[in-house]
Amino acid sequence: MKPKALVIRTAGTNCDKESVFALNMAGAATDMHHINYLRHNGDLSRYQIICIPGGFSYGDDLGAGKIFSLELSLWFKDEILNAVNRGALVIGICNGFQILAKTGILPDMDFKQKFTLTLNDSNRFEDRWVYLKVCSESVWLKSMPEIVSLPVAHGEGKFYAGGDVLERIEESTKVALRYVDKNGRIAGYPFNPNGSLNNIAGITDKTGRILGLMPHPERFIFKHHSPFWCNDLLLPQGITFFKNAVAYFKK
């Protein structure tokens, strides 16, 4: 049986179909529904994988992901808690990461916001490929090479947290991915495209089953997606995230 996956979209979401394609290609049976449909007809308990994709939900008019996060908190808090408590996997990509932050689903699943993704230090939209160091044994990151490359595309991607929260995230090994140079060394702009504290590109909850990240794995599904596609040794590393999620349930 294929694990069932759900991609939640709303006005302004623009990476939903790519996320559905990636999940299906990885072996999931994927549904895509508008959040208003789920409010009246949905049942999140049917799904083993929940994806909040990238984009600019509601135009980010009140801040990146803010309205979407309020809807999740008001309408789906209990369903999300139940889904995670029974073992579901959750991924938030770019705008989805911003939403997981503002709901408080990450890092502690207590629906209290503790960090944010704010304006890039460059004060402009950053659309580039980055190198990432894998720092976690999360379900989503199994069998990954130490250094992977993915594209980013965001204007508000700077990971920012107060000192006590940042220290706790670091100490509890919730950092999943860090921006690095091609040799795996911590580096500044443009390798860190947004000025994220401690070069943090993604974090997980304590179980590793909930992952939020600014880079876009759904945009590196085929080798030819990469600007370095002529490299014979290059592997499409984005699809591995989704294959790991499917394999977790097939086991």
Active site residues per annotation: 94, 216, 218
Phi-psi region of 104 (alpha: psi -120 to 50; beta: other; left: phi over 0): left
Answer for the pair 197, 166: CB distance below 8 angstroms, yes or no: yes
Q: Which helix (H) or strand (E) holds 121?
A: none
Pairing of strands 200-204, 147-154: unpaired
Dump the DSSP string for 145-205.
-SEEEEEEEESS-EEEE-HHHHHHHHHTT-EEEEEE-TTS-B--TTTSSS--GGGEEEEE-
Cα(211)–Cα(174) distance, rounded to whole angstroms? 9
The rounded distance, in Å, linking the Cα atoms of 95 and 56 is 6
Fill in the amino acid letter for 124: R
State the amino acid at position 93 in one-letter form: I
Question: Beta partners for 177?
Answer: 134, 202
CA 119/CA 126 separation, integer angstroms:
11
Bridge-based pairing state of the strands 200-204 and 175-180:
antiparallel
